[in-house]
């Protein structure tokens, strides 16, 4: 059968896939938790579940395309933002079906994951996805807090417009003050970084912000150190992200 991925590209599947390679950490966890028997390889960045025991095919930006082809998967999972077009093209040219996701909002994550399981993989939508949809449907707390979420430093880069993380932050009651800039992850000067905010949210990935690395850049401003997986991943952590992040944000103001 031929189905269409999130970008509308045709993906020809001879039968429901039985050998899946995932090049996206979020999708790796989603498949490993839901149908672990299908997963044969993943990237070195795929850290969840913690006991994941599959072959590693390098990283999201430099996958070992030759080895992936040798593994003869029925389906390779990629993401428009996390993976390179050239790697997707090389796999497709070798006759490997590739399913590319496009996720820039929470609703897109829920819809994309539903299609991944029910259309591409050919199984039922997992219970954790229904739970996530219910939890994330609650209205955000008010009033919102003006915030910034850095994802890198030297140079400083922050979450901006049209991002999954930004949409999740909005649902947590955060108003990202740099979301009106043209770039999705704008670069800022140190002066711009602290202007107009009353909260800095520092995740532990992709940059590993810690108590000793990051908070000093925000003198006099509350800083919340949060779990990056809950803030940026769109797999099974969706079901617990709101509770986890709400607790971590609240701890900042109770300290």
pLDDT reported for residue 142: 87
- The neighbour count for residue 38, using CB atoms within 10 Å, is 20
Rounded CA separation 236/245 (Å): 15
Cβ 226 vs Cβ 237: under 8 Å: no
Residue ranges of the chain whose pLDDT lies below 50 = none
Cβ 166 vs Cβ 106: under 8 Å: no
Mark out the alpha helices in the chain (DSSP H runs).
25-34, 65-71, 85-93, 106-115, 127-136, 164-171, 190-193, 228-232, 238-254
> Model's pTM, two decimal places?
0.93
Per-residue pLDDT tens digits for 61-109: 999 999 999 999 999 999 999 999 999 999 999 999 999 999 999 999 9
Q: Strands 145-148 and 199-203: what pairing?
A: parallel
Round to the nearest angstrom and report the end-to-end CA distance of the chain. 56
Backbone torsions φ then ψ of 142, nearest 5 degrees: -130, 155
Q: What percent of the chain has pLDDT over 70?
A: 99
Q: Which residues are CB-contacts of 111 (< 8 A; sequence separation ≥ 6)? A: none
Same fold, 2-125 and 138-254: yes
Cβ 197 vs Cβ 148: under 8 Å: yes
Cβ 42 vs Cβ 56: under 8 Å: yes
Question: Which helix (DSSP H) or strand (DSSP E) does residue 100 occupy?
Answer: strand 98-101
Q: Which residues are CB-contacts of 93 (< 8 A; sequence separation ≥ 6)? A: none
DSSP-derived secondary structure letter, 38: G
pLDDT reported for residue 156: 97
Rounded CA separation 90/255 (Å): 51
Cβ 39 vs Cβ 54: under 8 Å: yes
pLDDT reported for residue 197: 96
- CATH hierarchy code of domain 2-125: 3.40.50.1980
pLDDT reported for residue 225: 97
Question: Domain 138-254's class?
Answer: alpha beta
Q: Where are the domains of the chain?
A: 2-125, 138-254
């Amino acid at each position: 059968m031929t189905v269409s991925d999130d970008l509308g590209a045709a993906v020809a599947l001879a039968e429901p896939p039985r050998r899946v390679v995932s090049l996206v950490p979020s999708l790796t966890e989603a498949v490993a938790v839901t149908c672990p028997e299908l997963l044969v390889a993943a990237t070195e960045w795929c850290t969840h579940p913690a006991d994941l025991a599959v072959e590693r095919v390098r990283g999201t930006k430099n996958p070992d395309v030759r080895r992936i082809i040798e593994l003869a998967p029925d389906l390779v999972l990629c993401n428009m933002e996390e993976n390179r077009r050239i790697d997707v093209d090389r796999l497709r040219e070798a006759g490997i079906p590739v399913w590319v996701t496009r996720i820039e909002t929470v609703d897109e994550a829920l819809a994309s994951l539903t299609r991944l399981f029910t259309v591409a993989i050919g199984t039922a939508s997992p219970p954790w996805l229904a739970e996530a949809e219910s939890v994330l449907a609650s209205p955000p707390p008010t009033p919102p807090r003006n915030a910034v979420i850095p994802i890198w430093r030297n140079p400083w880069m922050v979450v901006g417009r049209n991002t999954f993380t930004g949409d999740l932050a909005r649902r947590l009651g955060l108003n990202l003050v740099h979301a009106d800039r043209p770039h999705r992850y704008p670069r800022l000067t140190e002066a711009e970084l602290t202007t107009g905010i009353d909260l800095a949210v520092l995740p532990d990935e992709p940059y590993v912000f810690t108590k000793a690395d990051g908070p000093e850049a925000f003198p006099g401003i509350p800083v919340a150190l949060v779990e990056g997986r809950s803030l940026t991943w769109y797999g099974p952590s969706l079901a617990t992200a709101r509770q986890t992040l709400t607790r971590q944000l609240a701890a900042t103001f109770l300290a």
